[in-house]
Structure 1
Amino acid sequence: MMISNEAMGLWAAAAAVFLLAGLIKGVIGLGLPTVAMALLALWMSPAQAAALLIVPSLVTNLWQTGPSASFGAVFRRIGRMQAGVVVGTLAGAWWLGVPAGTWASLALGVALVIYALWGLTGRQLHVSDAQARWLGPMVGAATGLVTAVTGVFAVPAVPYLQALGFQRDGLIQAMGISFTTSTVVLALGLAANGSYPAAVLGGSVAMLVPAIGGMVLGTWLRQRLPVAVFRRCFLIGLALLGAYMALRAVMSA
């Protein structure tokens, strides 16, 4: 079966998107779904884009949950939040469908920009372990609803995880655990709404290669960044992603 030049060009463009998204994720620990959704949606529907990114997102997030030696300690601190993510995503998928909502994308983008700019001033939120017992499930449920509406897992999960006071590698691991939970439950929501056809699975698997290649390069870069530079890159990355999401939502409204 011959593949047309146009189809080959579209697949090459998709591979380039996942290479870039993997690179960004490797450096700052997030961004693969946001970058992939934003760029793939230039030529396909949001539901198709979300279905295509499920496998690369799941595998790269699982990779990010390592090392195994510290997994248990990190998971215990964020386990209640993960339960909230499951409930919020499934409830949002049943209530709203996935992904949907231009204005929700605008609100999410603005929230990311505000948080990043606030963080760049040198200030940071702090959540104690006692506060996390009741705040974690609430943040998880809110993150699940945002995931169902936009296909993006970052808010309010990332600000909350950063407020727990993890060190650099611990924060990366905590985000990997949270994003893995969100990816699995989002896939279930897509399947339940008939938005995850089996025909997309092969293409999603194929996008693993550029996504992992980009993440390997990004991880190599991150390990060579000083902590202060990493934090600045992390926050600037959030701001750029948020600004793009907000601008795109306004232009498509």
Structure 2
Amino acid sequence: MADSFSLLPPALLIFAFCVTFIGGFVKGAVGFAMPLIMISGMGILIEPQLVVACIVLPILLGNGLQVLRSGLAPARQAIRDHWRYISLVCIMILISAQFLTSIPTNGMFVVLGVPVVGLCAVQLAGWRPSISASWRRPFEWMAGTLSGILGGLAGTWGPPTVLYLLALDTPRDRQMSIQGVIYGLGSVMLLLGHLKSGVLNGQTWPLSAAMVVPAMLGMWLGFKLGDRFDQDKFRRATLWVLIIAGLNLIRRGLMG
């Protein structure tokens, strides 16, 4: 256990805890962005593969909490309605996670930064795809594959899932419960995928487990305070911060 924490000096460990707490707070307040914040924030100072290892268990526990808050009956209905998309996300997370260790460090910064910037920019632009009933099944295949690849490599499949549900004109009251199921099951696959890839191992899993504490504290505070401020303004401000951090990751990847 002590060897695990030697992977990060005390100052970097405190930094990682703070970033994770912020990510948990935002997720509790607005329901998204914990992995994006952890990747773009921790990636400023911490080696990319270690960042991915650190996010696995907080994401798993955080998404499990989101499923429980939404209720089990809506969760079962979400699985029945979206089983194709969910299956593809899970399969592709397992597959793409195995390629993470073969990506050079500089390339890894780009792999993490590009999805952060692109997905946040799409949400800020307010783009909302529209899919007719006849195109739903092909769209499910494409969207599920893309989301799963991003999930395995960068640990984030939330924003593509939001766009997928918007394209299907999913009612807002159902969207949160469906997202919870997709995020929750995907998190299990992320755990299994990185146990297999070796990213989550005897040295890194204690660090990931330690990040659960600030993540859960942040989510608890986010649940408590989320209704006290303008949700849309807070969401947009979060996305802008993520874009800046994502651009910095890309810069590091391209310039070394």
TM-score normalised according to structure 2 size? 0.80
After TM superposition, the structure 1 = structure 2 runs for residues 108-147 of structure 1, keeping only pairs within 5 Å, are 108-119=115-126, 124-127=128-131, 131-147=135-151
Conserved? CA contact 1:29–1:175, under 8 Å: no
Q: CA deviation at 1:74?
A: 2.4
1:67 corresponds to 2:58: no
Letter paired with 1:78? H
Matching residue of 2:175: 171
Which 10-residue stretch deviates more, 204-213 or 97-106? 97-106
Matching residue of 2:86: 82
Describe the shift of the 1:70–1:47 C-alpha distance in structure 2 as closer, same or farther (beyond 3 A).
same
Tell me, in whole angstroms, the C-alpha distance in 2 between the residues paired with 1:62 and 1:129. Answer: 31
Matching residue of 1:193: 197
Q: Deviations over 1:99-135 (max 9, x none)?
A: 764443343234224312321xxx6333456643332
- Choose from 158, 163, 172 the match for 2:162: 158
The answer for unaligned runs of 5 or more in structure 2 is none
Conserved? CA contact 1:28–1:237, under 8 Å: no
The answer for unaligned runs of 5 or more in structure 1 is none
Matching residue of 2:44: 42
Tell me, in whole angstroms, the C-alpha distance in 2 between the residues paired with 1:150 and 1:184. Answer: 15
Letter paired with 2:19? V
Matching residue of 1:246: 247
Describe the shift of the 1:133–1:238 C-alpha distance in structure 2 as closer, same or farther (beyond 3 A).
farther
Q: CA deviation at 1:57?
A: 0.8
Matching residue of 2:111: 104
Q: CA deviation at 1:62?
A: 0.8
Conserved? CA contact 2:93–2:152, under 8 Å: yes
Matching residue of 1:183: 187
**Number of residue pairs aligned between Structure 1 and Structure 2:** 246
SS at match of 1:198: coil
Identity %: 24
TM-score normalised according to structure 1 size? 0.81
SS at match of 1:199: coil
1:202 corresponds to 2:203: no
Tell me, in whole angstroms, the C-alpha distance in 2 between the residues paired with 1:29 and 1:209. Answer: 18
SS at match of 1:15: helix
Q: Deviations over 1:168-216 (max 9, x none)?
A: 4432222222222332222222222222112322332222222111112
Tell me, in whole angstroms, the C-alpha distance in 2 between the residues paired with 1:170 and 1:73. Answer: 10
Q: Deviations over 1:202-237 (max 9, x none)?
A: 332222222111112212333456xxx535544553
Tell me, in whole angstroms, the C-alpha distance in 2 between the residues paired with 1:117 and 1:17. Answer: 22
After TM superposition, the structure 1 = structure 2 runs for residues 26-41 of structure 1, keeping only pairs within 5 Å, are 26-41=28-43
Conserved? CA contact 1:108–1:242, under 8 Å: no
Please provide the CA RMSD for this pair: 3.0
Tell me, in whole angstroms, the C-alpha distance in 2 between the residues paired with 1:12 and 1:181. Answer: 29
